[in-house]
Structure 1
Amino acid sequence: MKGRCIILDHLQGREAAALMVDGRLDDFLIESDAPTPGTIYRARADRPVKGQGGMFLTTPDGSAFLRQVKGLAPGQLLLVQVTGYAEPGKATPVTQKLLFKSRYAIVTPDAPGLNLSRSIRDETERDRLLEIAHDTIGDAPYGLILRSSCAGADADEIAEDIARMANLAHQVLNDTGSEAETLLDGDGPHLLAWRDWIEPAEIVTDTEGFAQHGVLDAIDLARGAMEPLAGGGHMFIEPTRALVAVDVNTGPDASLAAGIKANLACARALPRALRIRGLGGQITLDLAPMPKKDRRGFESALRAAFRTDSEETALVGWTPLGHYELQRKRGRPALGGPSK
């Protein structure tokens, strides 16, 4: 099936959303029991962590950890936002830099000013969007970012989205409670799909949509360790407690160029494979053998592949043993192992 298709359904009783591109699963979101990124708490400072410049906080959903703390005393109340999913047994990561994010607009209380997505280059369109923003938000004390989805969008829809996020920010920032409390829940999979999957697509909301569009088969494949690569190679993606190990193999190809071909295929396929599996943290690539002179080409291909990925990923570099390391934000829950 050609084209893009967004399927909104449930998997094992949990809300989920799948993005199929030309009949292949390109992205997958599923509800989790853990606090969702974007959730905003009024939290209470608990105890500092000496040597790390951080502070453990108390929230309604358990312990949270805030980095780069200055001037914060135990017992103090503060607003924080969940930034990602915690490793098992660890505190939820949070930040004091709040973002109110929707399909068209991001309101930034801590960063005043009006900004447009750099992908919107047409000057006439930029002027139109700036006029909409100024007319809607006026002299509000909050910053505003207009996302790439604004390009060509209806002016009333953009204005409504800006106003809604600005009002939401005002409500949260002016809440006067005196106890630890959840002030805003993060977006679920269906709302995230509407917010972030902005390219034109067919929308399917039918019951059993996952089964009818091949999503269940694709998920079963992603729950396994092996990911096939273009050209006949494959890679094994195996999460451990310490890191995610990725082992690249050339398959039946025994030519002199087999290693670089498999590694380039890995570079192109890796963002999607990690995204669907919901994997983050430290990632170590055990690549197929290739000459050192080919490393630069591999790095360029990897950088290009991650440039448009939805999760923030740092390309760390080579280890003395010849492995390549990444550091990836835990922006979504792990898909988990094979279904029973």
Structure 2
Amino acid sequence: MMDFFKSVIINAKDRDEIRVGFVENDVLMELYYESESLRSKVGNLYFARVDNIVEGMDAAFLDIGTGKKAFLRSEDLCKIYRKNKEPVITSLKAGQKLIVQVKKDSFFNKGPQVTTYVSVTGRYLVYLPYSRKVSISRKIREKNERNRLLKLVKEIRNGKGGFIIRTLAKAMDETIIEREARELIHSWEEILNKTSEKKAPVLLYKEPDLVDILLRDKVNDVNEIVVDDFELQRYVKQKTQNLNIPIIFYGGDDLFSHYGIESQILDSLDKKVNLRCGGSIYIQKTEALTVIDVNAGKNVKNGREEDVILATNKEAAKEIARQLRLRNLSGIIIVDFIDMNEDKEREQVKKVLETEMMKDKTRSFVMGFTQLGLLEMTRKRTLRTVYSSLQQECPVCKGAGFIFRPEIVVDKVKNDLKKMHLKKKISSVELKMSENAGKLFEKEKEKLEKELNIDIKLTFSDAYLGKYEILIVK
């Protein structure tokens, strides 16, 4: 089995923006960005005020003080605020105050999604103040260790909330686990105290910044951490002193280029990912889910067609696991592998994907193949996707990925001008459109001016690709 040399590369020389790359044997596996304008609110706790209850959706919009109204679904309203799963409309009322936690950041024109199933996260434990359960990570498989940790945490809990025992708690000393549990309970008590001191809406608790979250959750098994900021090097050493990880200072000009990361970043944005075997995968992110299509492409290996398809699907499964981590994709994920005839082949591909996803510290679940031959899986939502960190919605197509052809734009302009002429006698208009559509329109401009008895002033601008604007000149 191949050994992986794992590096965490932290580019923080420009302190307004921090970039973190997780590299295994020179291959970029995960990428994270943070700037003040892009900082995720996931995990933040707010003292919120109910703004509006939507009966038809059995949901509520809350004011958390961040501008856009937060969305609270019925399934995210815990028993502290409702009885016997009553609908939201009878459980809450406008103006009511409650503690919520952001579970999903704002997306385009949508506000953040929040939940009342709040939690406070540590390195080894997650404290659930409104729960009574103690559960443990599935990745801790040894029966004796599971029993040891469950017994310990149940004794510490002493009737105060519930806990999730994280993977990193494995083999940890009991005093360390106990200390963190008491710290998390104390943090929650301080959060509760703020609700009596402050007026809603207000921030009660802010999740640590990107570097702190990654040091807390993701660096226990890395071989080195490289930073390009001297102060940050000292801080990382302090935070990881119990992990015995070398913290290396890089004094050159471009840390990401030096480690070959810069060139791999653009690949993380491309819809198409080529496979070594000649096949490819296409990744399409939508608001509802992520769709991945596997194609055989130029895979012309010798052998039976069934063997080639199986080999391509297995390689694709490995690459899909990497791409989910690299792009930090989450939620519902549907994969359309190349059609396989045998259930045993589908099971082999599923097993490869599950094995590769075990390397991912973010929780995921591979459900399996549907009757249509599509593989279903989910991955927990954490931090921002690479897309939201590096890209913004196209101002032309508004995220659709397509714009109207010039011929269609010209037809729409002609129809609008005729409608405007019928409603109101106009003598002059200014028409703004792209140059490619404008050149087509010029061929009909003189005829249309005579037909409608108007003067049309034509202005070209690339800002009007696929669209146009008509201004009446008085």
- TM normalised by structure 2 equals 0.62
> Matched residue of 2:189: which SS?
helix
User: Matched residues in 2 for 1:241 and 1:145: separation?
Assistant: 29
CA contact (8 A) 1:26 1:272 kept: yes
| Corresponding residue number in structure 1 for 2:221 | 199
- Indicate the residue corresponding to 1:220 in structure 2: 266
| Equivalent-residue separation in structure 1 for 2:210 and 2:131 (angstroms) | 27
Paired AA for residue 322 in structure 2: R
- Aligned to 1:248, what secondary structure does the other structure show? strand
Relative distance call for 1:10 and 1:49 in structure 2 (3 A) is farther
Q: Find the aligned partners of 2:149 and 2:381 in 1 and give their Cα distance.
A: 36
CA distance in 1, matches of 2:153, 2:255: 37
2-structure distance, mates of 1:42, 1:317: 42
Residue number in structure 1 paired with 2:100: 80
Of stretches 176-185 and 296-305 in structure 1, the one that deviates more from structure 2 is 296-305
Whether contact under 8 Å (1:85, 1:330) holds in the other structure is no
- Alpha carbons of 1:128 and 1:45: their partners in 2 closer, same or farther (altered >3 Å)? closer
Q: Secondary structure at the match of 1:51?
A: helix
Q: Summarize the Cα distance change of 1:3–1:34 in structure 2 as closer, same or farther, 3 Å threshold.
A: closer
The answer to whether residue 66 in structure 2 is matched with residue 46 in structure 1 is no
Choose from 57, 60, 69 the match for 2:65.
60
Instruction: Give CA deviations for 1:232-269 in whole Å, capped at 9, x if unaligned.
Output: 32212233556534232223223513323222222222
SS state of the match for residue 161, structure 1? helix
3-state SS of 2:56 partner: coil
Aligned runs of 1:257-296 on 2, under 5 Å?
257-291=307-341, 293=343, 294-296=345-347
The offset of 1:215, in angstroms, is 2.1
- Structure 2 letter corresponding to 1:331: T
Once residues 299 and 368 of structure 2 are traced to their aligned partners in structure 1, the CA distance between those partners, rounded to angstroms, is 29
What's the offset of the Cα at 1:156?
Answer: 5.2
In the alignment, what sits opposite 2:11?
9
Give the AA of the match of 2:115: T
SS in 1 for 2:387: coil
Q: Higher mean Cα deviation, 265-274 or 239-248?
A: 239-248
Contact 1:132–1:155 (8 Å) recurs in 2: no
Aligned residues: 337
The 10-residue stretch of structure 1 (11-20 or 99-108) with the greater mean CA deviation from structure 2 = 11-20
The residue identity in structure 2 corresponding to 1:48 is I
TM, length-normalised to structure 1: 0.84
| Distance of aligned partners of 1:133 and 1:17 in 2 relative to their CA distance in 1, 3 Å threshold | farther
When residues 273 and 192 of structure 1 are mapped into structure 2, their CA distance, relative to the original with a 3 A threshold, is same
Q: Which has the larger radius of gyration?
A: 2
Q: Confirm or deny that 1:102 pairs with 2:102.
A: no
Residues in 2 aligned to 1:125 and 1:242: alpha-carbon distance in whole angstroms: 36
Partner Cα distance (2:32, 2:123) in 1: 16
Question: Which shifted more, 24-33 or 60-69?
Answer: 24-33
Q: 1:49 to 1:34 in 2, by over 3 A?
A: farther
Partner Cα separation in structure 1 for residue 32 and residue 356 of structure 2: 20
In the aligned structure 2, how far is the partner of 1:92 from the partner of 1:216? 31
Q: Which amino acid aligns with 1:295?
A: R
What is the CA distance between 1:46 and its match in structure 2? 1.5
C-alpha deviation, 1:282, in angstroms: 4.8
CA contact (8 A) 2:152 2:174 kept: no
Instruction: Please name the residue that 1:27 is paired with.
Output: 30
Q: C-alpha distance in 2, partners of 1:276/1:162?
A: 32
Distance (Å, rounded) in 2 between the aligned partners of 1:116 and 1:316: 24
CA distance change for structure 1 residues 209 and 64 in 2, over 3 Å: closer, same or farther?
Answer: same
Post-superposition Cα deviations, 1:114-165, rounded to whole Å, max 9, x if no partner, equal: 444450626379647855885xx56462323332212334555444433332
Residue identity opposite 1:214 in structure 2: G
Rounded to whole Å, the distance in 1 between the matches of 2:331 and 2:25 is 30
Using the aligned pairs only, state the percent identity: 24
Which letter does structure 2 place at the counterpart of 1:266?
Answer: A
User: Of residues 173, 186, 190 in structure 2, which corresponds to 1:171?
Assistant: 190
Structure-2 change in CA distance of 1:45 and 1:210 (3 Å): same
Report deviation, 1:195.
1.6
2:449 equivalent in structure 1? none
Contact 1:16 1:189 in 2 (8 A): no
RMSD of aligned Cα (Å):
3.3
1:172 deviates by 1.0
Partner AA of 2:160 in structure 1: P
For 2:153 and 2:342, the matched residues in 1 are separated by 52
Q: Deviations over 1:90-133 (max 9, x none)?
A: 12111111111121121111122544445062637964785588
Task: Measure the CA separation in 2 of the matches of 1:121 and 1:286.
Answer: 35
Residues 177-220 of structure 1: per-residue CA shift (max 9 Å, x gap): 23201111123221121121122431112244323322222212
User: Which deviates the most, 140-149 or 173-182?
Assistant: 140-149
Q: Is the 1:303–1:315 Cα contact (8 Å) retained in structure 2?
A: no
Considering fraction of residues, name the structure with more helix: 2
Question: Which residue is 1:332 aligned to?
Answer: 383
Q: How far apart are residue 63 of structure 1 and its match?
A: 1.3
Q: Report the residue type matching 2:30 in the other structure.
A: D
Which one scores higher on RCO, CA 8 angstroms, separation ≥ 6?
Answer: 1
Q: Is the contact between residue 317 and residue 326 of structure 1 (CA under 8 Å) also seen in structure 2?
A: no
When you count strand as a share of all residues, which structure comes out higher?
Answer: 1
Contact kept, 8 Å, 2:48 with 2:63, in 1: the verdict is yes
Q: Structure 2 vs 1, CA of residues 163 and 243 (structure 1 numbering), >3 Å: closer, same or farther?
A: closer
